[in-house]
């Protein structure tokens, strides 16, 4: 008989919604199991623009959506201040733009009324000369420009933080674990849990639950089908280009050749440009940007920033949005953007699905879903996710003091702060005690581009449940800089191998999977000054590092 876990709630899908729901439930004292088939957020969440935005575009349709988005952006700032950073935007208006600057400004004046909810600033209006002074790289063809601001976030870390908080509060949280089949009650057809398979060691086990939540993002239809119910989505693929470093510290609006809004915006250490939105019919597990998508994004950016092609693109990121098809079968449908569905009406009681939505609304969506699940369970606890800080979000980090205390470069502590907030000291303190060698040595830099320290790698393995080298791309931003892993993967895998007792063969497997993933991201946008880096990259991995077959 396979081992069994019994919980009130089983959440399948470790993206921002699944993780958010698990955390919300855990805060209410409801124990749940959260299973994710890869790494947290590795489906859609990590590939978002990484902005907790206020929903400017909804002002025309339904200002309530904008209000809720702005209020919730404020909430996320309070619970995870370490994960967010402000992004000032500049919006150039060109003579050929269909919407005139006065209309744009009216829209921004409306938006200004919501800014206080998210600690945002009012817009400003810039003449052509002023705009070019603010951002000299802008196209001089602009007639005027406007500024506003939004908040950026490391979406992968936000997802992981939610999952970690859930785990710390008693949830069973498993990565690299997939649902093989739903468990049904004989006769009634009630969904009572799932049979799981650990994708790393192959072990199968059962999780029994009173209610189950399908939070699989673009995999929602597939998971639903396993229970014999239909959830229709219109999956929309979106890519971003990632530049080697900041192109600007401002975000710049651009318009695609088809009129779509896009931007080049700062994100962590870099700038990103995007995004696209195309109906997707392919394999969700082998997602790659295409040359056409790359060309489309660059063409759009060039209009606002003529010199954009001079900048070095290191790789692409890509994801598929779980956009709702639009179905009206269930009267419990909430807002236009997302739904929480009770499949009792589809003959699968006990199973819920959450689909659609956007990253910025995750906390609201999760709270809503948790409300529904609690109702089904007969639990009357209110949600507390808007007011309880996420791990590391309960204060400010003293960067200088921490750097001095642990003999660590300040640059590294800054980046640690962005990922771990107040827990940074713990990350560095653990390092001293974890090492089996006698005499403590200062943490060493493994990845120069970020930088990532061996201490942080050890931390995410021993305390954050990281199980594979590829997880580290999302969890600590390993190998996503200039060298794309050529200089760091060899040593990163060694740190993980030490902590997880990997065999040499396992190390090779992990490196190979990592390199394959990097290559799929690099190849579509490869060109310019990145060619030299990839020449070195190939020498590094093909001439050395074993690759035992």
Site for other proteins in 95-124 (CB under 8 A): 98-103, 105-106, 109-110, 121-122, 124
Helices (H) and strands (E) in the chain, counts: 16, 20
- List 5, 6, 63, 426, residue binding other proteins (CB under 8 A): 63
Residue 540 parent element (H or E) = helix 530-543
Using CB under 8 A as the binding rule, whether residue 513 contacts other proteins is answered as: no
d(CA 318, CA 288): 7
- List 170, 256, 306, 490, residue binding other proteins (CB under 8 A): 490
Binding mask 164-193 for other proteins (x = CB under 8 A): ------------------------------
Structure tokens at 324: 């709702």
The alpha carbons of the chain give a radius of gyration, in whole angstroms, of 23
CB of 474 to other proteins, least distance (A): 20
- List 125, 199, 329, 463, residue binding other proteins (CB under 8 A): 125
Using CB under 8 A as the binding rule, whether residue 311 contacts other proteins is answered as: yes
Q: Within 13 Å, how many C-alpha atoms sit on residue 474's CB side?
A: 29
CA nearest neighbour of 13 among 236, 233, 212, 280: 212
- List 2, 201, 433, 503, residue binding other proteins (CB under 8 A): 503
CB of 35 to other proteins, least distance (A): 30
Q: Which stretch binds other proteins (CB under 8 A): 204-212, 229-237, 243-251, 422-430?
A: 243-251
Helices (H), 145-197: 155-168
CA nearest neighbour of 196 among 3, 43, 9, 7: 3
Torsion, CA 168, CA 172, CA 174, CA 177, rounded to 10: -170
- List 226, 294, 317, 373, residue binding other proteins (CB under 8 A): 294
Structure tokens at 129: 């000369």
- List 78, 128, 199, 245, residue binding other proteins (CB under 8 A): 245
Per CB under 8 A, contacts with other proteins among 413-432 are 414
- List 493, 509, 510, 521, residue binding other proteins (CB under 8 A): 493
Cβ–Cβ under 8 Å, residues 489 and 448: no
Cβ–Cβ under 8 Å, residues 453 and 444: yes
Q: Which residue has the tokens 């269930």?
A: 330
Residue 386 vs 499, nearer CB to other proteins: 499
Using CB under 8 A as the binding rule, whether residue 202 contacts other proteins is answered as: no
Residue 28 vs 82, nearer CB to other proteins: 82
Q: What is the DSSP string of 181-192?
A: EEEE-TTT--EE
Using CB under 8 A as the binding rule, whether residue 387 contacts other proteins is answered as: no
Using CB under 8 A as the binding rule, whether residue 326 contacts other proteins is answered as: no
Residue 186 vs 258, nearer CB to other proteins: 258
Residue 376 vs 399, nearer CB to other proteins: 399
Using CB under 8 A as the binding rule, whether residue 282 contacts other proteins is answered as: no
Using CB under 8 A as the binding rule, whether residue 291 contacts other proteins is answered as: yes
Helices (H), 355-483: 362-377, 399-405, 410-420, 424-434, 454-462, 471-475
Residue 125 vs 463, nearer CB to other proteins: 125
d(CA 166, CA 451): 28
CB of 177 to other proteins, least distance (A): 26
Residue 130 vs 203, nearer CB to other proteins: 130
CB of 138 to other proteins, least distance (A): 11
Using CB under 8 A as the binding rule, whether residue 392 contacts other proteins is answered as: no
Using CB under 8 A as the binding rule, whether residue 505 contacts other proteins is answered as: yes
What sign does the dihedral 190-323-165-205 (CA atoms) show?
positive
Question: Which residues face 195 on adjacent strands?
Answer: 181, 206
Using CB under 8 A as the binding rule, whether residue 1 contacts other proteins is answered as: no
Per CB under 8 A, contacts with other proteins among 126-145 are 126-127, 130, 133-137
**Which of helix, strand or coil describes residue 152?**
strand
Cβ–Cβ under 8 Å, residues 502 and 496: yes
Helix 454-462 vs helix 489-500: crossing angle, to nearest 10: 40
Q: Which stretch binds other proteins (CB under 8 A): 321-329, 357-365, 381-389, 525-533?
A: 525-533
- List 180, 225, 401, 542, residue binding other proteins (CB under 8 A): 542
CB of 304 to other proteins, least distance (A): 15
- List 231, 254, 495, 521, residue binding other proteins (CB under 8 A): 495
**Phi and psi at residue 445, in whole multiples of 5°?**
-75, 125
Query: How many chain residues touch other proteins (CB under 8 A)?
Result: 110
Residue 33 parent element (H or E) = strand 32-35
What sign does the dihedral 460-466-469-472 (CA atoms) show?
negative
Structure tokens at 185: 């009650």
Per CB under 8 A, contacts with other proteins among 65-94 are 85-86, 88
Residue 137 vs 386, nearer CB to other proteins: 137
Using CB under 8 A as the binding rule, whether residue 257 contacts other proteins is answered as: no
Q: Which stretch binds other proteins (CB under 8 A): 153-161, 230-238, 462-470, 512-520?
A: 512-520
Cβ–Cβ under 8 Å, residues 411 and 105: no
Q: What's the Cα-to-Cα distance from 253 to each of 91, 98, 138, rounded to whole Å?
A: 5, 15, 10
CB of 487 to other proteins, least distance (A): 4
Using CB under 8 A as the binding rule, whether residue 410 contacts other proteins is answered as: yes
Using CB under 8 A as the binding rule, whether residue 543 contacts other proteins is answered as: yes
**Which of helix, strand or coil describes residue 71?**
helix
Residue 214 vs 248, nearer CB to other proteins: 248
- List 243, 253, 265, 352, residue binding other proteins (CB under 8 A): 243
Using CB under 8 A as the binding rule, whether residue 248 contacts other proteins is answered as: yes
**Which of helix, strand or coil describes residue 446?**
strand
């Amino acid at each position: 008989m396979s081992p069994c876990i019994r919980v009130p709630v089983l959440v399948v899908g470790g993206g921002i919604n699944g993780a958010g729901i698990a955390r919300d439930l855990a805060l209410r004292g409801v124990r749940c199991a959260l299973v994710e088939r890869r790494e947290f957020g590795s489906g859609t969440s990590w590939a978002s623009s990484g902005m907790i935005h206020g929903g400017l575009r909804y002002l025309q349709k339904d200002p309530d959506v904008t209000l809720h988005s702005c209020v919730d952006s404020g909430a996320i700032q309070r619970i995870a201040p370490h994960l967010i950073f402000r992004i000032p935007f500049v919006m150039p208006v060109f003579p050929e733009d269909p919407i005139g600057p006065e209309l744009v400004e009216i829209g921004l004046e409306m938006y200004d009324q919501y800014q206080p909810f998210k600690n945002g600033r009012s817009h400003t209006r810039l003449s052509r000369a002023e705009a070019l002074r603010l951002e000299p790289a802008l196209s001089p063809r602009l007639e005027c420009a406007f500024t506003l601001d939004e908040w950026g976030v490391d979406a992968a870390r936000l997802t992981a933080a939610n999952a970690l908080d859930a785990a710390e509060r008693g949830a069973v949280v498993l990565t690299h674990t997939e649902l093989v089949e739903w468990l049904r009650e004989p006769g009634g057809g009630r969904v009572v849990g799932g049979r799981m398979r650990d994708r790393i060691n192959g072990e199968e086990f059962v999780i029994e639950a009173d209610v189950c939540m399908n939070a699989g993002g673009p995999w929602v239809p597939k998971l639903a089908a396993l229970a014999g119910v239909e959830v229709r989505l219109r999956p929309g693929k979106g890519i971003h280009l990632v530049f080697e470093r900041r192109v600007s510290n401002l975000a710049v609006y651009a318009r695609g050749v088809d009129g779509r809004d896009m931007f080049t915006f700062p994100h962590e250490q870099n700038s990103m440009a995007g995004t696209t939105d195309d109906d997707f019919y392919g394999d969700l597990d082998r997602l790659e940007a295409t040359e056409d998508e790359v060309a489309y994004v660059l063409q759009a950016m060039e209009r606002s920033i003529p010199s954009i092609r001079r900048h070095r693109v290191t790789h692409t990121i890509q994801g598929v949005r779980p956009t709702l098809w639009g179905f009206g079968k269930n009267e419990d449908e909430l807002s236009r953007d997302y739904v929480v569905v009770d499949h009792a009406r589809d003959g699968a009681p006990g199973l819920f699905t959450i689909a659609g939505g956007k990253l910025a609304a995750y906390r609201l969506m999760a709270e809503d879903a948790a409300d529904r699940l609690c109702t089904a369970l007969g639990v009357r606890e209110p949600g507390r996710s808007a007011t309880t800080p996420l791990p590391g979000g309960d204060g400010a980090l003293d960067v200088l003091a921490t750097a001095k205390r642990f003999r660590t470069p300040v640059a590294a502590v800054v980046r640690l702060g962005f990922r771990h907030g107040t827990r940074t000291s713990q990350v560095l303190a653990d390092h001293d005690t974890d090492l089996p060698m006698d005499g403590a040595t200062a943490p060493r830099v493994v990845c120069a581009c970020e930088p990532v320290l061996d201490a942080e790698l050890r931390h995410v393995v021993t305390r954050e449940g990281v199980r594979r080298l590829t997880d580290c791309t999302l969890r600590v931003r390993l190998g996503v800089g200039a060298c794309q892993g050529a200089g760091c993967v060899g040593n990163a895998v060694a740190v993980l191998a030490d902590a997880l007792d990997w065999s040499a063969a396992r190390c090779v497997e992990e490196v190979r999977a990592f390199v394959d993933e990097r290559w799929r991201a690099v190849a579509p946008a490869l060109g310019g000054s990145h060619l030299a880096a990839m020449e070195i990259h190939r020498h590094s991995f093909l001439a050395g590092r074993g690759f035992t077959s």
